[in-house]
Amino acid sequence: MTKRIYIDPSIASSDITPESVFLNRRAFIKASSGTAASALCLSTALSSAGEPSKLIYKAAPDESLRVEQTPYDAITTYNNFYEFGTDKSDPARHADSMTTDPWTIKVGGLVDKPGELHLEDLMSGFDLEERIYRFRCVEAWSMVVPWIGFPLSALLERFAPRAEGRFVEFKTLYRRSEMRGTRSFTSVIDWPYREGLRLDEAMHPLTLMAVGLYGKTLPNQNGAPLRLVVPWKYGFKSIKSIVEINVTAEQPETSWQTLQPSEYGFYANVNPEVDHPRWSQRFERKLPSSIFKPNRVPTLPFNGYQEQVAGLYEGMDLRQFY
C-alpha cells in the first residue's frame, strides 16, 4: 500500500516537544489499554523485531515540526462521551463497562460494495500512521493529541461510494446495559449518537480514523476501538466508537444539530470570528491548565489547518454555514 507522509507546515519550531516526552513506538506492542483483542490487532501491525512495519511516523525529516503534546493523563481523563455521563471525568470512570471485543463496523448506503468489517480486518488492511493534531472542543478548551490511525478515504474507497453520494453519516455504539449515560433521566440525546460530513470533507487527507493514541490502543473513554478525527472542526464532529457508516445523498441529521441547531451547526468548523451563542470562540484554554496557569491562547481559523482545508468552503458564508 502507498505510504502517505503528512507534514504540518504551520507548526512553529517553538512548539517542538522535548525528546523525553515522546513514548518509544515499541510500546505499541505492549499497549495495556483497550481490550486484549485490540492489543493483539495492533501488535500485528508491527514486525516481530519490534520495529514498525506498517506504522508510519509523521514528522519532517529533521523532526522540527513536533508539537507540544497534551499529557496522556489529561487526554484520557478530561473529555466528553455523554453515553457515560455529562461530567468531564465520567467517561474515564465508567467507560470500562463498554465491551469492544468483538467489534464490527457496517458500511452501506450509496456504495457499490456494502458490507461489514471486523476490527481485525481494519487493523490488518490499512497502513497505520501517527498524526499529531490539534483538537479543539466547541466548549473552548483544546489539546494536542498524537493519534494512530489511517485516512477515512482509504476505508470509504474500499466500499466504492456512488456518484450520487454527497454526505457520510456515522453512528456510535448504543448499548444501554453498558452505557449508563443513555439510561439517565436527564439524557436529552436521541440515541444512538449520530454525526456527518460532506463527502469531500470525509475524503480529505487530514480526516482520520483513529485506533490509538500516544502509541497505545484507544482507551474506551476516548472512543475505542475506532473513532473519527477531523482536526479542523470542533470536537463533537469527531464521533467515537463507530459501528455504522452510510453514504447518503441528503445531509444526515446529527445529534447536536438536532438538539440545538442555533448552537451546533452541521459544519462546525473552528472559527474565531463566529461565537457560540453563549460564549466567545476567539480564545481557547489549552490543556493542561489551572486557575493560576489558564494557558489561554488565540483560536486559529480552521484550528490551524486553514491552508489545507479552506478551499473546501470557497464561496460559502461561514456565518450561515457554521
Q: What are phi and psi of 199, to 5 degrees?
A: -60, -40
Task: For residues 168 and 196, give the distance between their C-alpha atoms in angstroms, rounded to a whole number.
Answer: 5
Q: Is the pLDDT of residue 229 over 50?
A: yes
Cβ atoms of 126 and 150 closer than 8 Å: yes
Task: For residues 204 and 232, give the distance between their C-alpha atoms in angstroms, rounded to a whole number.
Answer: 11
- What are the tens digits of pLDDT across the range 176-206? 999 999 999 888 899 999 999 999 999 999 9
Helix-, strand-, coil-residue percentages of the chain, each rounded to 5: 25, 25, 50
Amino acid 1: pLDDT: 40
Least confident of 17-31, 192-206, 207-221: 17-31
Q: Looking at the domain assignment, is residue 28 inside a domain?
A: yes
Domain residue limits at 205: 13-313
Q: Is the pLDDT of residue 108 over 90?
A: yes
Task: For residues 110 and 129, give the distance between their C-alpha atoms in angstroms, rounded to a whole number.
Answer: 28
Q: Looking at the domain assignment, is residue 82 inside a domain?
A: yes
User: In terms of DSSP bridges, do strands 55-57 and 128-136 run parallel, antiparallel, or are they unpaired?
Assistant: parallel
Q: Looking at the domain assignment, is residue 3 inside a domain?
A: no
pLDDT confidence tier of residue 10, bands split at 50, 70 and 90: low
Domain count, the chain: 1
For residues 12 and 137, the model is more confident at 137
The neighbour count for residue 291, using CB atoms within 10 Å, is 5
Amino acid 30: pLDDT: 36
Q: Is the pLDDT of residue 26 over 80?
A: no
Alpha-carbon torsion (106, 151, 313, 258), positive or negative: positive
Least confident of 17-26, 60-69, 201-210, 285-294: 17-26
Q: Is the pLDDT of residue 85 over 80?
A: yes
User: In terms of DSSP bridges, do strands 208-213 and 167-172 run parallel, antiparallel, or are they unpaired?
Assistant: unpaired
Q: Is the pLDDT of residue 9 over 90?
A: no
66-91 mean pLDDT: 93
**How far is CA 35 from each of CA 41, 85, 210, 233, 283, rounded to the nearest angstrom?**
10, 22, 16, 29, 37
Q: Looking at the domain assignment, is residue 239 inside a domain?
A: yes
Cβ atoms of 82 and 193 closer than 8 Å: yes
3-class secondary structure, 91: helix
Q: Looking at the domain assignment, is residue 318 inside a domain?
A: no
Q: Which strand ranges, in their side-by-side order, compose the sheet holding 194-198?
A: 115-118, 104-109, 242-248, 167-172, 194-198
Cβ atoms of 234 and 142 closer than 8 Å: no
CATH number at residue 131: 3.90.420.10
Q: Looking at the domain assignment, is residue 4 inside a domain?
A: no
Amino acid 54: pLDDT: 53
pTM of the complete model: 0.83
Contacts (Cβ under 8 Å, ≥6 apart) of 109: 165, 169, 245, 246, 247, 248
Q: Is the pLDDT of residue 312 over 60?
A: yes
Q: Looking at the domain assignment, is residue 80 inside a domain?
A: yes
Q: Looking at the domain assignment, is residue 38 inside a domain?
A: yes
